[in-house]
Amino acid sequence: MEFLYFPEDKSEYIPGIISIIIIFILSILIVWLLMKASRKQVDSLNDQGYPMVYDRGETRKKPGQQDAAENPNTPQEPNEPNGSPTKKP
């Protein structure tokens, strides 16, 4: 088993540990930047009139935006805009 190398001097592990820490920090930074860019794209789509609907059926709202259920003075849209489906004989 000469192909495995475990150094006697443990100080040879230091460059490897430093590079792993740097790669870990950079990967966290990249994920954070991607999430920030994604939120910015969702906000720009919402501003253009294309609401993002997530799997749970909810949309992302801005902090000052109210829901129709929270504001009773706003008329609510019907659940079935085209009416109920007709039965076939």
On average, the pLDDT of the chain sits at: 77
pLDDT tens track for 68-81: 555 555 555 555 55
Residue 15, token pair as written in the block:
């460059």
Cα dihedral: 29, 61, 49, 54 (round 10): 70
Task: Report CA torsion sign: 16, 17, 21, 27.
Answer: positive
Domain ranges of the chain: 10-48
- pTM for the predicted model, two decimal places: 0.53
When pLDDT is cut at 50, 70 and 90, the band that residue 28 belongs to is: very high
3-state secondary structure of 60: coil
